[in-house]
Amino acid sequence: MEPRIGVFVCHCGINIASTVDVKRVVEAIKGYPGVVHAEDYVYMCSDPGQELIRSRIKEKKLNGVVVAACSPTLHEATFRNTVSQVGLNPYRCEIANIREHCSWIHTDRDKATEKAIKIVKSIVEKVKLNDELLPISIPITKRALVIGGGIAGIQAALDIANAGYEVILVEKNPSIGGHMAQLSETFPTLDCAQCILTPKMVEVGQHPNIKLYNYAEVEDLSGYVGNFKVKIRLKASYVDWSKCVGCGVCMEKCPTKVPSEFEMGLTTRKAIYVPFPQAVPNKPVIDRENCLYFKTGKCRICEKVCTFGAIKFDEQDEFVEEEVGAIIVATGYELYPIEKIGEYGGGKYKDVINGLQFERLLSASGPTGGGVQRPSDRKVPKRVAFVSCVGSRDPELHKPYCSKVCCMYLTKHAMLYKHRVPDGEPIVFYIDIRSDGKGYEEFVQRAQEEEHVTYIRGKVSKIYEDNGELVLLAVDTLTGEPLEVRVDMVVLGMAIVPSPAVYELAKKLKIQIDANGFLTEAHPKLRPVETLTPGIFLAGCAHAPKDIPDTVAQASAAASKVLEMFSQKELQHDPMVATVDEDRCSGCGVCVTLCPYGAREIEVKDGKRVAKVNEAKCEGCGSCIAGCPAGACQQRNLKDEQLVNMVKAVLE
Amino acid sequence: MEGFEPKIVAFCCKWCSYAAADLAGTSRLKIKPNFVVIRTMCSSRVDPEFILQAFLNGADGVLVAGCHPGDCHYVNGNYKTLRRVMLLKKVLEQLGIDPRRLRLEWIAASESRKFVVTIRKFVDELKQLGPLRLEAGDDNGSNG
Amino acid sequence: MKIFYYPGCTLKTQARNFECSAMEVMKLLGYELVELNRWNCCGTVYSLASDDLIHKVAPIRNLVRVKEQGGDKVVTLCAMCYNTLKQANVFFNSDQEARDKINSFMDTEIDYEGDVEVLHLLTVLRDEVGFDNISKKVVRKLNHIKVAPYYGCLLLRPSTVAIDDAENPSIMEELLHALGVETIDFPYRNECCGTYNTVSAVDLVIDRTYRIVGLARNLGADVIVTSCPLCQFNLEVRQKDVKERFPEFEQLPVIYFTQLMGVALGVPTERLGFELNHIKPKVLMEL
């Protein structure tokens, strides 16, 4: 195509014109090869300015446009839209940044003008070789995968399902509900966690648009945004759930007792079990690790007592494949293991427990029916210490970050303990109190002033057992006094850490995790629920420690991002992707190793290895192009030749 | 070397360093006009060939600027850039071009001041090195 | 096998029992502790006073002596000496500029390259001799004795020089179990003994001693075992003052781990320097 380029130089009022002699720019560029028209105008982005460009395109039969104005970040889209209105391909329009990169940062008018001319020339060189492009269209499978069935996954799944789209929900445990199901009451309103969560769990279980795979894990993922293929492992439960009616006789008769995960080891469950009475689905699984039959080859009592013939010891793990267009990762958190805190006994003192264990002690459905009893001897503790920042905010030994919820739940714990044991004495040890949510500070003040919870600012340096009591050594940093406090029980506000399986999952999904193992968002401010991999979103504590309201909000935000995608007919993708000259390509595969998105692959074509580009996956970074030893790869509208010509133009 | 004004080609990635240069403008910071920015999507798009072409066509210095390590918009493009630039510096030495004429900097979108300081220091350094003379070798360089 | 041994001042005076018992024990285990020639003060008093570079010269010069005498590692008994020498070594290896300066402070010595390994006897026993091998040499049954292991701070802090997990150490327990004695779960084992406050703030040290020794006794210990002469002094000698203040207080012997090893391995008691212990560990001496 013979270039017929028009150059439009903007004054931007005096923003450009005061430092750059725009008339001189116009004059200088007029004779430049390929330029058939050049003129200036005071505000090119104004309606008359845009109209000027449109009419000149028609009059002068322009097939390329350079607008010399502000940064392309501001008006590239504007002017590309302008030119397309009169039939010019938008990718034949480029912006020469002579404001931010020239008039605003220089003072010498003469030199600034010379520089502006160079900038315009380089952009003219680019436009000369720009191809007419169309955005790449990608079809979308309008089904979502949600990984993790805690409150984040539940909320996201319900939002998408209620909007009318199918959701595949994968939960690794026998039941959905996550950690929220373990909580007694929630701060700052003291709502009963189960009362607000159970209806949502039931809704998930019954929703016609939600396909729940409980006791299942994501095995593998392939494909790309809009077109993922996910392989799911359905772990053998050894119970035929279609036959099981949930009568519970098997659990009653099973002879093997195992510490209950749901009850945080405070009580036991059987080897065939439902994690908790409100479980969804309410069907048991056999824990292969602990089942007597699997260990010794003898027992099978559950099989004998099941009148429905639902037990099947020969079951194997199964795999299913699902196609989805978007994925939400909501794999949640664990508590940092108490074994890592040597100075607090490292787990050897029975009455030093973590926050989730205390939740179970407070819970009406817990092992004590909601009565606070200490684990060692079931006595009602008369003094309880609550220690915050255990493992958090400790960059040297443990985790550098703040776990966000401990200040608040320890306050809630102290308050609820006081409600259960009115003559009890709760003592909270803290570094700072972080009460930054709605109603949170008021809640802490209520604990201090109305409920008479003692707050001591100081980190506990040691906990040990002496004569059936626990001794805490600390310093009150407000008075500077060393303290030795004797209590009956200690509750530790352990750091929140990502669910350990997230590392493997992140590798399968090709999403990033940060130094602490949390999933990385695409942008900390402006893209907080997206990952850098298009089509994969995140929610809840898998991303960072957060409380229930923030988790629910983020889950809904992730769901709305998915719905935004699903509301489109097809996905549009920037066409400035990599291309391959198959005649030049030697099939060496360097590009395959360089591509961070898995968009490059080697294909055998007529007996010759050649590199391919998956345009839907290619994000257009260009690292494969610079790395191609044969010069066989190019980037659309940012070809080597264009860039070299641009370099030459600025050095003329 | 009185009056010598070095010419610099600055390759900036769209997401971080180009945005930092934009911010320098928006903040009305002042820089010497010795450089022109060429925008690529990622610093890893910068083929060593472009840098050699710049030197061949009269540049006294080339700046490659990208996102900080770990912050790359394209996951890890800047690490590839780092490797390429390190290698190219060795090649430049072989060609008799002082490797200080090629600079790699990590400039985040918020670091407009770093952009300004980088250019200022680069200009100063290139003034010390003097104009690039290709035929005779880079006499002013340390290995000249 | 020979290992260079850096004694330090206290091992030649107050803590001669630590030195002589260690020598006896190591001989039995087939090792010879060769005292470094021309050693000087480890430098601890200075380095605590300020962080000026000159104060690193004393410890580094000791390490130069090791090189001069053909060694590449040196073992200490005193926890304070261990800490001072090791910290100086870590610092020396982390700062090139400091390294050059320290070397230039020393005129007559060869330049130090930072390549001497500073060890404490406990780690030598664990890593070179092996607790299993020690266990095999035990000739006296001590399973009726309950021991409170006391680490103090200098073997464990800061983390750059620690010989074990600062919050949950186990090396001394492992050694004691190899010797066949029972250990108590002693929460104060890594608490501070009061150190040099024993000179200027005696009351503070008396209070520490009362708590530490008192808890060890409450938990059923017959003897406290330590590896630091200063801890040993504070915990043992200060018991007299504790007794004056708290008449109900019952004394407890405080000995070096090497002395207990000596008993277990069959070294005649009179060669273990118990005469220097103010509170005699009768339970060990009457075997």
Note whether A44 and A53 are within 8 A (CB).
yes
Is the pLDDT reported for residue A170 higher than 90?
A: yes
Which of these, C175, C168, C124, lies nearest to C147 by C-alpha position? Answer: C175
Q: Residue A224: which pLDDT band, with cuts at 50, 70 and 90?
A: confident
* pLDDT given at position C238: 96
* Contact flag A122-B46 (C-beta cutoff 8 Å): no
Q: Is A134 within a domain?
A: no
Q: Residue A39: which pLDDT band, with cuts at 50, 70 and 90?
A: very high
**Each residue's pLDDT tens digit, C121-163:** 999 999 999 999 999 999 999 999 999 999 999 999 999 999 9
Q: Which of residues 315-354 of A touch C (CB under 8 A)?
A: 341-343, 346, 348
Is the pLDDT reported for residue A491 higher than 80?
A: yes
Residue in chain A closest to C170 (alpha carbons) equals: A342
Handedness of CA A609, A610, A614, A617 (dihedral sign): positive
SS (H, E, C) B71-129: CCCCCCHHHHHHHHHHHHHHHHHHCCCCHHHEEEEECCCCCHHHHHHHHHHHHHHHHHH
* Contact flag A650-B26 (C-beta cutoff 8 Å): no
Which residues, 6+ apart, have CB-to-CB distance to A278 below 8 Å?
Answer: A177, A181, A194, A198, A201, A365
CA–CA dist C270, C283 (Å, integer): 14
The order of strands in the sheet holding A383-390 is A352-354, A489-494, A383-390, A425-430, A454-457
- Nearest neighbour of B42 by CB, restricted to A115, A623, A651: A623
**Each residue's pLDDT tens digit, A474-483:** 999 999 999 9
Q: Is A644 within a domain?
A: no
Q: Please tell me whether residues A155 and A220 are part of one structural domain.
A: yes
**Each residue's pLDDT tens digit, B24-68:** 999 999 999 999 999 999 999 999 999 999 999 999 999 999 998
* Contact flag B38-A646 (C-beta cutoff 8 Å): yes
Q: Residue A515: which pLDDT band, with cuts at 50, 70 and 90?
A: confident
Among the residues of A7-108, which ranges form H helices?
22-30, 47-60, 72-84
Q: Which fold has domain B8-129?
A: Rossmann fold (3.40.50)
**Both tokens assigned to A584:** 């030049």
* pLDDT given at position B69: 87
List chains touching A (3+ CB pairs under 8 A).
Answer: B, C
Q: How many CB pairs under 8 A join A and B?
A: 122
Q: Is A310 within a domain?
A: no
* Contact flag A343-C191 (C-beta cutoff 8 Å): no
Residue in chain C closest to A349 (alpha carbons) equals: C185
* Contact flag A101-B50 (C-beta cutoff 8 Å): no
Q: Please tell me whether residues A124 and A76 are part of one structural domain.
A: yes
Handedness of CA C224, C229, C231, C232 (dihedral sign): positive
Smallest CA–CA distance, residue C65 to chain A, in Å, is 34
* Contact flag C167-A341 (C-beta cutoff 8 Å): yes
* pLDDT given at position C43: 86
- Ramachandran bin of A248, using left for φ above 0, alpha for ψ from -120 to 50, beta for the remaining angles: left
**Each residue's pLDDT tens digit, B62-96:** 999 999 887 788 888 999 999 999 999 999 999 99
Q: Please tell me whether residues A474 and A516 are part of one structural domain.
A: no
Q: Please tell me whether residues A511 and A443 are part of one structural domain.
A: no
Residue in chain A closest to B40 (alpha carbons) equals: A638
CA–CA dist A584, A94 (Å, integer): 29
Specify the range with the lowest mean pLDDT, choosing from A35-39, A53-57, A321-325, B15-19.
Answer: B15-19
* pLDDT given at position B144: 37
Residue in chain B closest to A534 (alpha carbons) equals: B74
* pLDDT given at position C286: 77
* pLDDT given at position A513: 85
**Both tokens assigned to A359:** 């939740």
* pLDDT given at position A390: 98
* pLDDT given at position C197: 92
Compute the average pLDDT of residues A339-347: 94
Is the pLDDT reported for residue A168 higher than 90?
A: yes
Smallest CA–CA distance, residue C152 to chain A, in Å, is 14
B7 touches A: beta carbon within 8 Å: yes
Helix (H, G, I), strand (E, B) or coil at A129: coil
Q: Is A241 within a domain?
A: no
Smallest CA–CA distance, residue B144 to chain A, in Å, is 24
CA–CA dist C252, C254 (Å, integer): 7
Q: Please tell me whether residues A322 and A457 are part of one structural domain.
A: no
Q: Residue B143: which pLDDT band, with cuts at 50, 70 and 90?
A: very low
Q: Which of residues 511-540 of A touch B (CB under 8 A)?
A: 512, 532
* Contact flag A532-B75 (C-beta cutoff 8 Å): yes
Give pairs for C142-145: CB < 8 Å, separation 24+: C142/C179, C142/C180, C142/C181, C142/C260, C142/C263, C142/C264, C142/C284, C142/C287, C143/C180, C143/C181, C143/C182, C145/C181, C145/C182, C145/C222, C145/C223, C145/C283, C145/C284
- Nearest neighbour of A346 by CB, restricted to C159, C168, C219: C168
Is the pLDDT reported for residue A630 higher than 60?
A: yes
Handedness of CA B53, B59, B60, B66 (dihedral sign): negative
B31 touches A: beta carbon within 8 Å: yes
List chains touching B (3+ CB pairs under 8 A).
Answer: A
Q: Please tell me whether residues A344 and A437 are part of one structural domain.
A: yes
* Contact flag C168-A343 (C-beta cutoff 8 Å): yes
Is the pLDDT reported for residue A68 higher than 70?
A: yes
> What is the DSSP pairing of strand A227-234 with strand A216-224?
antiparallel
CA–CA dist B143, B131 (Å, integer): 15
Smallest CA–CA distance, residue A376 to chain C, in Å, is 18
* pLDDT given at position A522: 84
**Residue A382, domain CATH:** 3.50.50.60
**Both tokens assigned to C130:** 């092996």
Structural domains of chain C, ranges and CATH numbers in brackets:
2-121 (1.20.1050.140), 140-267+278-285 (3.40.50.11810)
* Contact flag A342-C167 (C-beta cutoff 8 Å): yes
Do C and B make contact via 3 or more CB pairs under 8 A? The reply is no
Q: Please tell me whether residues A403 and A255 are part of one structural domain.
A: no
* Contact flag A343-C165 (C-beta cutoff 8 Å): no
* pLDDT given at position B2: 63
Which residues, 6+ apart, have CB-to-CB distance to C115 below 8 Å?
Answer: C67, C72
Count of residues in chain B: 144
Q: How far is CA A488 from CA A177, A227, A265, A352, in A?
A: 32, 57, 19, 9
Q: Please tell me whether residues A528 and A405 are part of one structural domain.
A: no
pTM of the model: 0.80
* pLDDT given at position C279: 96
* pLDDT given at position B137: 55
Burial of A33 (0-12, 13-18, 19+ CB in 10 A): exposed
**Which carries the bigger pLDDT value, residue C287 or residue B131?**
B131
Smallest CA–CA distance, residue A439 to chain B, in Å, is 34
Handedness of CA A474, A476, A479, A480 (dihedral sign): positive
Q: How far is CA A594 from CA A570, A628, B89, in A?
A: 28, 10, 21
Q: Last residue of some domain: A128, A156, A186?
A: A128
* Contact flag A594-B80 (C-beta cutoff 8 Å): yes
Terminal CA-CA length for chain A: 25
* pLDDT given at position C134: 97
Domain enclosing residue A596, as ranges: 574-636
Q: Is A135 within a domain?
A: no
CA–CA dist B9, B120 (Å, integer): 14
Smallest CA–CA distance, residue A471 to chain B, in Å, is 45
Q: Please tell me whether residues A503 and A371 are part of one structural domain.
A: no
Q: Residue B138: which pLDDT band, with cuts at 50, 70 and 90?
A: low
- Nearest neighbour of C187 by CB, restricted to A341, A397, A462: A462
* pLDDT given at position A573: 87
Q: Please tell me whether residues A365 and A473 are part of one structural domain.
A: yes
Q: Please tell me whether residues A489 and A503 are part of one structural domain.
A: no
* Contact flag C167-A471 (C-beta cutoff 8 Å): no
Q: Is A445 within a domain?
A: yes
**H or E segment and range at residue C67:** helix C57-68
- Mean pLDDT for chain B? 91
Residues from chain C that touch A342, judged by Cβ atoms under 8 A, are 165-168
Which of these, B28, B14, B35, lies nearest to B113 by C-alpha position? Answer: B28
* pLDDT given at position A627: 94
CA atoms within 13 A on the CB side of A337: 8
CA–CA dist A435, A539 (Å, integer): 22
* pLDDT given at position B141: 44
Q: Please tell me whether residues A344 and A492 are part of one structural domain.
A: yes
Residues from chain B that touch A101, judged by Cβ atoms under 8 A, are 21-22, 25, 36-37
* pLDDT given at position A421: 97
A395 touches C: beta carbon within 8 Å: no
User: What is the mean pLDDT for each group of 10 consecutive residues in chain C (287 residues)?
Assistant: 94 95 96 95 70 82 95 96 95 89 88 95 97 96 95 94 94 97 95 92 95 95 96 96 95 97 96 95 84
Domain count within chain A: 5
Q: Is A360 within a domain?
A: yes
> What is the DSSP pairing of strand A136-139 with strand A570-573?
antiparallel
* pLDDT given at position C55: 81
Q: Is A641 within a domain?
A: no
* Contact flag A342-C165 (C-beta cutoff 8 Å): yes
